[in-house]
């Protein structure tokens, strides 16, 4: 059993929360398929746990993670998920090798980025904002690069 799966089944809110973010950030198909086959067990194990969360309910992260496990096969690319969540930090995505920061403009407010997905080349404008915590709004750029 993978660490992520055992964390999701652990009934330990802290481990479950960290595993949720691991799933949200991953492009590891092997991990996602393992979780996919265990999805009914995960749903059962997580249904009645109080996950808490100070700013955003931690259950939202879990729900997003499980939705990814269930639907990622239908995604065009991993970057389909960027506009759906305000939690993709461009610097972190670049560190993971998932996106490239083409430019960063922080003269004035808000800070904006131009980023490209390393898998499909789709470019995004990313607006950084702050409301209790930093967030990033990813918008695909209208002019698609030719592939």
Binding site for Zn ion (CB under 5 A): 77, 79, 117, 119-120, 122
Please calculate the CA angle 122-123-125 and round it to the nearest 5 degrees: 145
CB of 73 to Zn ion, least distance (A): 15
Instruction: Return the number of the residue (32 or 79) whose C-beta is nearest Zn ion.
Output: 79
CA of 73: how far to CAs of 29, 33, 108, 131, in Å? 9, 10, 39, 32
The answer to whether the beta carbons of residues 110 and 136 sit under 8 Å apart is no
Instruction: Return the number of the residue (53 or 121) whose C-beta is nearest Zn ion.
Output: 121
Instruction: Return the number of the residue (102 or 119) whose C-beta is nearest Zn ion.
Output: 119
Instruction: Return the number of the residue (28 or 60) whose C-beta is nearest Zn ion.
Output: 28
CB of 90 to Zn ion, least distance (A): 14
CB of 92 to Zn ion, least distance (A): 16
- Sign of the CA dihedral 39, 40, 45, 50? positive
First to last CA, the chain: 38
CB of 120 to Zn ion, least distance (A): 3
């Amino acid at each position: 059993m993978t660490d992520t799966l055992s964390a999701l089944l652990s009934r330990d809110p802290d481990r479950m929360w960290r595993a949720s973010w691991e799933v949200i950030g991953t492009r590891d198909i092997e991990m996602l398929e393992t979780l996919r086959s265990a999805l009914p067990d995960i749903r059962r194990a997580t249904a009645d746990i109080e996950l808490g969360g100070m700013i955003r309910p931690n259950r939202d992260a879990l729900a997003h993670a499980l939705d990814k496990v269930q639907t990622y096969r239908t995604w065009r690319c991993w970057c389909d998920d960027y506009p759906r969540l305000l939690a993709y930090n461009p610097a972190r995505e670049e560190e993971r090798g998932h996106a490239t920061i083409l430019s960063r403009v922080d003269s004035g407010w808000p800070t904006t980025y131009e980023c490209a997905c390393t898998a499909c080349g789709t470019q995004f404008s990313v607006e950084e904002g702050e409301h209790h915590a930093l967030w990033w709004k990813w918008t695909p750029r209208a002019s698609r690069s030719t592939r």
